[in-house]
Amino acid sequence: MRGMSTTRLAIHSKLLNESTNPPPGPSAAEQADWTRRMQLLLAAHPFSGRFHKDFITAGGENLHLQGWRFGTTIAGVWSVGEWREDAPQEIAGVSLFMRGWNAGDDAQALGAVQGIEALAPFPRADFNEIQAKPRPCLVMFYPDARWHADGRVELAATALAMAIMAAPGVTPSVEPI
């Protein structure tokens, strides 16, 4: 199609405990819906800074994003249940999208992820490996493998990465390679 371009996004998942089967992929309609949600979120937070957003999943559950935007790079903690400043949340996953356009932005986002207490057992060598990945790159960390098997965090985090890579007004699509 004329005017269409393709960008490959490397996606990496890291489990902090035993592995499970990978989640089934979302439908194209689900992916498009989540990407539109994320485009609206990014439009409301166009610059660097911290933000929060609650999403309702197709199953009616609450998925909360606590995010940090550094230019075109985003780090996020995904938790379940209603978010409250004064209450700890069950962390379902942590995502890190590094666009690769600005090494300083990528380094800040990686530093934000390294400071997340739920990832404390994560070896420094793994962070070094992530830092060396080709860009653009989306990395997801799962403190508990059941959230990897669930697929909600992967769908939302992938949609967020796609939204930040897309041109305004364009809804990108995912095609497995």
**Tally of domains within the chain:** 1
Tell me, yes or no, whether 159 lies in a domain. yes
Instruction: Using DSSP, state whether 100 is helix, strand or coil.
Output: coil
What is the per-residue pLDDT for 3? 45
Residue 13 has pLDDT above 60, yes or no: yes
Tell me, yes or no, whether 139 lies in a domain. yes
Q: Which residues of 28-60 are buried (b: 16+ CB within 10 A; e: fewer)?
A: eeebbbbbebbbebbeeeeeeeeeebebebeee
What is the per-residue pLDDT for 105? 92
**Which residue did the predictor score with more confidence, 113 or 19?**
113
Tell me, yes or no, whether 13 lies in a domain. no
Q: Is residue 167 a contact partner of residue 107, using CB atoms and an 8 Å limit?
A: no
Containing domain of residue 103, as a range? 26-165
Work out the pLDDT band at 167, boundaries 50, 70, 90. low
Tell me, yes or no, whether 18 lies in a domain. no
Tell me, yes or no, whether 150 lies in a domain. yes
Distances (CA, A) of 129 to 10, 41, 123: 14, 30, 10
DSSP conformational letter for 22: P
Tell me, yes or no, whether 11 lies in a domain. no
Mean pLDDT value across residues 4-19: 56
Each residue's pLDDT tens digit, 45-88:
887 888 889 888 877 888 899 899 998 899 999 988 776 666 66
User: Residue for token digits 């207490």?
Assistant: 117
Tell me, yes or no, whether 148 lies in a domain. yes
Tell me, yes or no, whether 59 lies in a domain. yes
The half-sphere exposure of 20 on its side-chain side, counting CA atoms within 13 A, is 14
